[in-house]
């Protein structure tokens, strides 16, 4: 089939709830994807941060192939060694918590919201989230997402959510009352424009949650699994949350979500309070274990720090050449380029020249390459962006 044939088929049979780029992708390897016309595209935003160790990493592929011959799925009325092993590996790299498995970041956040309410004293039902956040598209996660445009067509939304500006300690403190069950924030806002939480802000949230018997939830769906230069984003700060949520890079391309809670908090989620039919699926857990092993065997967190700094330096140099760039921000390989004008046209032109990046909040270009990215690939990406900016 041709590109036009596939797009025509989508127009006729697939619900049009996504803005799609005009390419039909049929293959991915490492930091590149290939369309059906044979074009090679350097992917600096792989799978919306899902392919954190690159497309079709050999270790993940091998683990999936092996597991597919043994057991694809088993319901959670039985034990499986794989699910226990993945939970153990995560706990050993975080704060020793216990994990509930599901299928996506939105599901993980829904689980966290429910756990916070069931764990805290009766009467606590409110959640504080921050403006510009993104926590998912299900009803609870959508309401937690403090971007009113996301739910303007879905009123009334879930009651009990209070929104405050990001990195504003005074606003956070004023929002607390006896009815607050939890604060949910991202250590680095992804869709919000790569906004990095300050250390003072994170410590203030920890203090306020402790003072008010509330739960501190960190949405690590984008910041988790090494991308920022630590296994988890919270590890950049001298705080330990009560709950973190994971997804995206955890499965290396296979759908999986996870909510990890401190043992005393996790104990509140007893049989009958929450579940996920596919959660802890054998195939997904095998992939998750392979992802963790690959990150450690190939020193990919160290690479995220090293190449992340290299990319920052290159992009800051680009800033000196193009007045449209205001500044660069982020951590590790989670990088935002703040523009002084909208960036959609830049993204489209880059794709035409073989580079895939993303634009969020209209004026922030997102670079979130896989942790296997090499300096030469950063050079190539910056060169393409440089050429596009010269002609915008």
- A 10 A CB-CB count for 207 gives 14
Report residue 206 as tokens: 């920890």
Catalytic: which of 124, 219, 262, 367? Answer: 219
37 is catalytic: no
From 23, 248, 314, 331, the catalytic residue: 248
> Between β-strands 334-339 and 32-35, what pairing exists: parallel, antiparallel or unpaired?
unpaired
How far from 327 is each of 166, 196, 273, 339, 363, CA to CA, in Å?
Answer: 19, 13, 46, 7, 11
How many C-beta atoms surround the C-beta of residue 350 within 10 A? 25
Residue 145 and residue 137: Cα distance in Å, rounded?
Answer: 8
Catalytic residue (one of 134, 166, 176, 232): 134
Question: What is the rounded distance in angstroms from the CA atom of residue 304 to the CA atom of residue 310?
Answer: 10
**Cross-strand pairs, 330:** 335
Residue 238 falls in the annotated catalytic set: no
How many CA atoms does the CB half-sphere of 196 hold within 13 Å? Answer: 15
Give the span between the Cα atoms of 288 and 63, in whole angstroms: 9
Burial group, residue 77, by CB count within 10 angstroms (0-12, 13-18, 19+): exposed
Strands (E), 103-164: 126-130, 161-164
Q: Catalytic residue at 134? A: yes
Q: Which helix (H) or strand (E) holds 111?
A: helix 105-119
Which residues are tagged catalytic?
Answer: 134, 219, 248
């Amino acid at each position: 089939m041709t590109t036009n044939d596939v797009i025509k088929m989508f127009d006729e049979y697939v619900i049009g709830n996504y803005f799609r780029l005009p390419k039909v992708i049929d293959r991915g390897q490492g930091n590149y994807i290939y369309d059906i016309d044979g074009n090679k595209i350097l992917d600096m935003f792989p799978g919306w941060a899902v392919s954190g160790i690159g497309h079709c990493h050999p270790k993940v592929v091998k683990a999936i192939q092996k597991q597919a011959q043994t057991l694809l799925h088993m319901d959670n009325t039985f034990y499986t060694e794989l699910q226990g092993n993945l939970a153990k590996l995560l706990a050993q790299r975080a704060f020793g918590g216990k994990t509930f498995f599901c299928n996506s970041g939105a599901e993980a956040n829904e689980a966290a919201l429910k756990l916070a309410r069931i764990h805290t004293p009766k009467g606590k039902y409110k959640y504080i989230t921050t403006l510009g956040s993104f926590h998912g598209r299900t009803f609870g996660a959508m309401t937690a997402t403090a971007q009113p445009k996301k739910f303007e067509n879905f009123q009334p939304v879930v009651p009990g959510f209070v929104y405050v500006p990001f990195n504003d300690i005074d606003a956070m403190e004023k929002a607390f009352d006896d009815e607050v069950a939890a604060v949910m924030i991202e250590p680095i806002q992804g869709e919000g424009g790569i906004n990095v939480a300050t250390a003072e802000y994170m410590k203030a949230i920890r203090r306020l949650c402790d003072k008010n018997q509330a739960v501190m939830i960190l949405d690590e769906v984008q910041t988790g699994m090494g991308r920022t230069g630590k296994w988890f984003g919270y590890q950049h700060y001298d705080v330990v949350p009560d709950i973190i949520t994971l997804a995206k890079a955890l499965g290396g391309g296979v759908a999986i979500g996870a909510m990890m809670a401190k043992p005393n908090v996790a104990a509140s989620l007893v049989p009958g309070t929450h579940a996920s039919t596919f959660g802890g699926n054998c195939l997904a857990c095998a992939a998750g274990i392979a992802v963790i092993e690959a990150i450690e065997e190939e020193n990919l967190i160290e690479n995220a720090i090293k190449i992340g700094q290299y990319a920052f330096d290159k992009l800051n140099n680009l800033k000196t050449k193009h007045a449209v760039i205001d500044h660069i921000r982020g951590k590790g390989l989670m990088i935002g380029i703040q523009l002084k004008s909208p960036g959609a046209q830049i993204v489209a032109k880059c794709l035409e020249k073989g580079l895939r990046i993303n634009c969020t909040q209209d004026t922030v270009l997102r670079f979130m390459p896989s942790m296997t990215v090499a300096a030469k690939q950063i050079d190539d990406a910056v060169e393409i962006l440089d050429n596009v900016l010269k002609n915008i």
